[in-house]
Amino acid sequence: MSSRNRGTISNKDDYYVTPHWLISEFLDAVNPASPHAKTPLILGNDILDPSAGGCDKYEMSYPAVLNTHGYFNVESWDIRTDSRASKKGHDFLSCEGQEQYDTVITNPPFSISEEFLNNALTYVKPHGLVIMLQRVNWLGTQKRFEMWQTMPLHSVFVHHKRPGFNPEKPSKTDSIEYAHFVFCKTAKENLTPNLFVI
């Protein structure tokens, strides 16, 4: 996803290459052993990226970075048939999950991000996590107001540096700030969302 397609590699399926440093920055912020940790999160052993991406030139961002951080059981899906995902041509929104994952983490297409969130919550176990990279302004608009009244938001990790989504132009950054939004599959009233700048 990218704001107004500035400096991005994209295609008809809204595919953008998520920079590895952005994911590492988030993982460092939730790793209790990291000197940059903000709060510990347990991602668990069974992780799914349902819009993993990857192409003939670039590897899948989340699975690759998660592996370097010690998470080796990462399943990858993508709707694109030219993706590097283990399950290609799979429409994540076409069916509900079976609560088999500890964490769903992804950078979904912005236009269907709410649908992705709703469905991802059906794929995680009780108290499992759904982590999504989104623009900070995902918090706004009248259209999403009802969503924020019901979604079990755990925390928001705002990245202090704007990312770029074209690895061939690393200095070309996007026009807006991004954050990793963390949701916990539990009763909303049991959560007090936290905001971190990383």
Q: 181, 191 in Cβ contact below 8 A?
A: no
For the segment 19-33, the average pLDDT, to the nearest whole number, is 95
For the segment 115-119, the average pLDDT, to the nearest whole number, is 95
How confident is the model at residue 175, as a pLDDT? 80
Tens digit of each residue's pLDDT (9 = 90 or more) over 63-99: 999 999 999 999 999 999 999 999 999 899 988 778 8
Q: Which of 35, 29, 4, 7 minimizes the C-alpha distance to 19?
A: 7
Domain limits at 50?
3-197
Q: Does 137 have pLDDT greater than 70?
A: yes
How confident is the model at residue 131, as a pLDDT? 98
Q: Which two tokens stand for residue 71?
A: 């998470």
How confident is the model at residue 168, as a pLDDT? 78
Q: How many domains does the chain have?
A: 1
Read off the CATH number of the domain in which 34 is found.
3.40.50.150
Question: Binning pLDDT at 50, 70 and 90, where does residue 114 land?
Answer: very high
Q: In angstroms, rounded to a whole number, what is the distance separating the alpha carbons of residues 137 and 15?
A: 20
Q: 184, 191 in Cβ contact below 8 A?
A: yes
For the segment 178-193, the average pLDDT, to the nearest whole number, is 93
Question: Binning pLDDT at 50, 70 and 90, where does residue 4 land?
Answer: very low
pTM for the model stands at: 0.90
Q: Does 5 have pLDDT greater than 70?
A: no
The mean pLDDT of the chain is: 89
How confident is the model at residue 165, as a pLDDT? 86
Q: Does 146 have pLDDT greater than 80?
A: yes
Query: In sequence order, what are the residues at sequence separation of 6 or more whose Cβ sits closer than 8 angstroms to the Cβ of residue 38?
Result: 29, 30, 157, 196, 198
CA atoms within 13 A on the CB side of 151: 27
